[in-house]
Chain A
Amino acid sequence: MNEAALAELSRVLYSPVTLLLYAAAAFLYLYALTTKVGRREDGPARGRRAELAGLVVASLGIGAHLAHEVTRGLAQGRLPLGNMFEFTSMMALVGVVVGLGYLQFVRKRPELNGFVLMAGTLVLASALLVYSDPGPLMPILDTWWRTFHVTVIVIAAGIFTAGFVFNSLQLMRDLAEQRVADARSRTTVGSTVGAAYIGDLRAGSDAEAGTETDAAASAETDAVGERVAPDAADAPDGDPDAQTADDEAAYRRALRGALSPWRLALGTFLGTSTVSWVFLATPTLEFATGVQRFLIVNLAMVAVALIARWFVPMLPAAATLDGLAYRTIALGFFAWTFGVIAGAMWAEQSWGRFWGWDPKETASFLTWIAYAAYLHARATRGTRGRGAAWIGILSFAVLMFTYYAVNLVFVGLHSYAGL
């Protein structure tokens, strides 16, 4: 096969093949989630079947995605990590593989796979906005250190994407739980994350619910008297007091109703805008195209947020999501740190200085600080739970800003990555 044919094949494998497979798998998993709460006799069986089908389709999607990366690499005779399209595509691949692998095999919570796949689909589609044909690399970029640095950074970004999914779900679920609890004016039931502090305040209570009680948290529980931390992964997902199916359904409706769709849509629109404005400011882009991309990205995010809202009652408890987000982000932080250090080594080798505060370096440092703040917030009592989730989401915005704004708008030494 010649290079042109390989390039064409890799393009088709990417879109539509991988894109559709991911979207279909996301749909199957989300459908499976809906069967968990229904009261139909055959609900569980259908759910299991849908989940299995989702796994098969998702695996096919990952396979197609891998095949795309390989054929693209062959077509251009180098690793497909040289421009924004390739970075974004690889980020989606890592996010999906890590997210699914973790949920499916480590935490055994495949019902959340749908959200990871939805995010993967979105990232994959967003890469099409910056599509470029296969081509060679500038010699200054062609070094082992760069390959290493970029690979690690992209892996970290993919992991952070999965963390962002968990953080967003956690936040929605937490707000919903809290509001329903407030509405019922009860103090002890509510945010399952918040329950941790309420519990801590009452001496002798044992409501420690953090999944990943970290050193700080355990110090507190220990101080209260070496209490047992019940495994929050098995924290009750529904209303603990719900007695009947009708109660449960009412609780679910209350959870969903607790999040105003209008406010969620507006918030998502504004939040996404903190990053997507770069399309309006990209010098190489026509303004009309920029507006179009800005709207596409924002509206897609709003749509996904509204879909996620519908699923809020079927999500695991906020504390469980908190634990998932923490573990994912911790892994991403480790990889990011490693990647930034590798970047400094590359800079030393290529430019004779290991750190020069150019916009790219500054921004990757900013991302690092943001996620370090998340880890600290998670270890601090008052900010654990929702506070940390907000910082996590903000950190992801910073990551995206680093990635898009700096590549497209503020160019420095690293301006290689432009369109």
Chain B
Amino acid sequence: MIPVRCFTCGKVIADVWEEYKARTEQGEDPKTVLDELGVRRYCCRRMLLTHAELINEIVPYL
């Protein structure tokens, strides 16, 4: 699960994660998507850029 807020500055970033994911999977440049979603600072940008969604991989072992 994407963290609710940016670790560094505390801005809420979880609300844009799904749109970011959908749009980058469509082949859009992450840079333009982040700019359009209003994620300006590099601390918040890395939260989305580097996030790995692992929850589905944990499920078989629950």
Asked if A and B are interacting partners, one says: no
